[in-house]
Amino acid sequence: MAPSQIEARSRGRTAPTNTSSPQYFHKVVDCQWACPTHTPVPEYIRLIAQGRYAAAFMLNWESNVFPAILGRVCDRPCEPACRRGRVEEKPVAICRLKRVAADYKGEIDAFMPEIPKEKNGKRIALIGAGPASLTVARDLMPLGYSCVLFEKDPRGGGLMRTNIPSFRLPVGVLDEEVERILGFGVEARFGHEIKSLDVLLKTEGFDAVFIGTGAPKGKDLDIPGRREAAANIHIGIDWLTSVAFEHVHTVGKRVVVIGGGNTAMDCCRTSLRLGGMQVTVTVRSPRRVMKASPWEIEDAEHEGIPILDNHAPKEFLVEKGRLKGVRFQKMKEVGLDKSGRPRLEPSGEEVVLECDDVLMAIGQENSFPWIERNIGLEFNEWDMPKVDEVTMMSTRPGVFFGGDAAWGPENIIWAVAHGHQAAISIDHFCHGKRLTERPQPGANLISQKMGIHEWSYKNDYAPLKRVAMPHADKAQALRNLKVEVELGYDDKLAFKEAERCLNCDVQTVFSAPLCIECDACMDICPVDCINFLNNEAEPLLREKLRVPAHNKTQDIYVSDNLKTGRIMAKDEDVCLHCGLCAERCPTGAWDMQKFMYVEAQAAQACLTHHNAYLR
């Protein structure tokens, strides 16, 4: 700790911000910070604006492995985090821009890492061919590992293939990204289900095993009539899998979907395409706490599917041994529980929805019947394997977990993040290095000044509204399961949307010794985030700013003491990164510097485009 920091703490004041830690400026890049794989979002958005789609794609591929897939179906933790959403209504359409990079990337094979012909002699088993295992394979293959992939289904992709319908993720897009990794020389054994981990460990002599089998068991509902009507009641994810592998081609005319998550949205929209005429979604809880992403609910409603909330299923009605309908108890809200979720009570009113088929999408869970409980791999009280949160290793050395298999259902992008960490651990494990010694991220800051008031990024704020996504003709889309609904941005729409990015990675960097306290930056700042005042303890300091800083998730950038004894305090919350503070500064105390942050991975060969920024 610097002397000035120690002094500030001892007087109950706010310590000067330590900008030498890469995590300070990393956090300012809200999208990158929120992304589990820390994809450098503003940088690739600028590349898209410049039409450099291949470079934008590669920055994505290096971070998140599946840009074309994620550009369509990512859970998008970056978008609610986007600063633009705090400045005006809607965040930048980051996910859709990612898709643009994938759609227009052109030829990229030359950028792929070289896979050594000579292997390092280490053999890794990957169980389950979903995003987590594929990420591990991608990270380890360039290091010379031999990876063997076991998958019970006939094709790779895991839930990305079985649970996401092709009108959201075309099979061709999925195949391309999966094949790219398998093409590195992964030994894929499709249709090979591992029935015993113990046998696998004993017979094949793998140096490490990675388990990425997801959360494959859909939850069931044990209410009257379930058994009698079994022929027409389906578990959502199993049914979607059957549709994906073309075992199921039709569904009844009237379909009731039970559940309010993304699987429910996929089930109802798939039903419409398989002949459902009257498809209804029912949710037990109130609409506002539905688990599905807002855009997926929007898409389902756009296709004319009603969503009935506060409907708790009570009984499957059976007539002559056949499903006739579902009886629901309507619920009403009576305040909130301790966790802030609505507390529900039966309202007394009952509703019957007649139907031919029921799809149940009420959640999914892990299932490890194939892992013996006596092989030194411990399970916790919820029958989940004990997995280290940093190293991804179970209590049995050499056995790693990732994706939904590790801690229950999450999403694709988290599975990728787990895969990267597991690959680092596996590499350390195979070479006798300590797993807890994690490689550090790379970071640097480079001034963007090109001349007087000229910057190497476009600092002119564009007051544009979010660009709407063009959709396929509805009548046509509903007739064919394989017609992709979202058409993607073309280059012009992409450019317009890219202009909305605030370039949050171009940081406002302040140098206290140069400041003459002329107030020019404070006066010009369009969002009143810069302040010159006496130092105080942080809660008081936050209140005393020109606009009090009530968003505590955002940091206050505090300078060293200035000549008058005051400090500069900048609320990072809604900074537009317009650079006017630096333009109006007579002494260069403010500078706009691009921050590049590179999360460490097992293989440097997978970070070529990232590392180019660190040189």
Partner 1 sequence: MSYIPKPSAHHPALPRNTLGLTRRDYEGTMSTLCAGCGHDSITAALIESCFELDIPAHRIAKVSGIGCSSKAPTYFLNRSHGFNSVHGRMPSITTGAAIANRDLVYIGVSGDGDTASIGLGQFCHAVRRRLNMTYIVMNNGCYGLTKGQFSATNDKASPSKKGEANPFDAIDLCQLAIQLGAGFVARSFSGDKAQLIPLIKAALSYNGFAFLDVISPCVTFNNHPTSTKSYDYVRAHNQAVDSLDFIEEKEEITASYAEGTSLAVEMHDGSRLLLHKLDEQHDPRDADAALMAIRTNAAKGAVATGLLHINETQQDMHDILATDARPLNAVPMSELCPGSRALEAINARLR
User: Which spans of this chain sit near partner 1 (rule: CB under 8 A)?
Assistant: 86-88, 453-454, 459-461, 463, 516-520, 522-524, 526-529, 547-548, 550, 563-564, 574, 576, 578, 580, 583-587
Under DSSP, the state recorded for 236 is: H
In the complex, minimum distance from the CB of residue 563 to partner 1, in angstroms, rounded to a whole number: 7
H/E stretch holding 188: strand 187-190
At its nearest, how many Å lie between partner 1 and the CB of residue 441? Answer: 31
Query: Is there a contact between 481 and 243 (Cβ–Cβ < 8 Å)?
Result: yes
Of 301, 247, 294, residue with least CA distance to 272: 301
Q: Which is nearer to partner 1, 319 or 523 (CB)?
A: 523
* Max intra-chain CA distance, the chain: 89
CB 88 to partner 1: min, Å: 7
Smaller CB separation from partner 1, 323 or 545: 545
Asked if residue 526 lies in contact with residue 576, where contact means CB atoms within 8 angstroms, the answer is: yes
Cα dihedral 501, 503, 505, 509, rounded to 10, equals -150
Contact yes or no for 29/595 (Cβ under 8 A): yes
Q: How does strand 364-365 pair with strand 357-360?
A: unpaired
Contact 463, 500 (CB under 8 A): no
Tell me the residue type at 142. P
Take residue 408 and report the two structure tokens written for it: 């229950």
Residue among 514 and 540 whose Cβ is closer to partner 1 = 514
Instruction: State in angstroms the smallest separation of the CB of 40 from partner 1.
Output: 24
3-state secondary structure of 43: helix
Q: Strand 530-533 and strand 567-571: pairing? A: antiparallel
For partner 1, the closer CB: 576 or 603: 576
Q: Please give the structure tokens belonging to residue 597.
A: 């942050």
**Beta carbon nearer to partner 1, 405 or 574:** 574
- Where does residue 449 rank: exposed (0-12), middle (13-18), buried (19+ CB within 10 A)? middle
Instruction: Give dist(CA 95, CA 44) in Å, integer.
Output: 12
Q: How far is the CB of 466 from partner 1 (least distance, A)?
A: 14
Computed on alpha carbons and rounded to an integer, the radius of gyration of the chain in Å comes to 27
Nearest to partner 1 of 326, 574 (CB atom):
574
Min dist CB 52 to partner 1, Å, is 24
Residues 6+ apart with CB under 8 A from 22: 441, 443, 597
Residue 507 CB, nearest approach to partner 1 (Å): 17
Question: Residue 589: which of 518, 527, 502 has the closest Cα?
Answer: 518
Which C-beta is closer to partner 1: that of 383 or that of 528?
528
Least distance to partner 1, CB of residue 87, Å: 5
Output the CA–CA distances (angstroms, integers) from residue 462 to 322, 448, 501, 503, in the order listed: 59, 19, 9, 12
Minimum distance from residue 46 beta carbon to partner 1 (Å): 17
C-beta of 178 vs 578, nearer to partner 1: 578
Beta-sheet pairing, 342-354 with 322-336: antiparallel
Residue 583 or 599 having the CB closest to partner 1: 583
To the nearest whole angstrom, how small is the minimum distance from the Cβ of residue 384 to partner 1? Answer: 42
DSSP 439: P
When the beta carbons of 279 and 522 are compared against partner 1, the nearer one is: 522
CB 205 within 8 A of CB 122: no
Instruction: Give 102 or 506: the residue with its C-beta nearer to partner 1.
Output: 506
Question: Of the two residues 294 and 548, which places its CB atom closer to partner 1 in the complex?
Answer: 548
Task: In angstroms, give the least distance from the CB of 589 to partner 1.
Answer: 10
Q: What's the residue count for the chain?
A: 615
Distance between CA 261 and CA 290 in Å, rounded? Answer: 7
CB of 528 to partner 1, least distance (A): 5
In the complex with partner 1, the residue whose CB is nearer, 357 or 573, is 573
Residue 588 is given by DSSP the state S
Residue with tokens 């409907």: 311
What whole-number distance in Å separates Cα of residue 512 and Cα of residue 328?
Answer: 66
Residue 45 Cβ vs partner 1, minimum distance, rounded to whole Å: 18
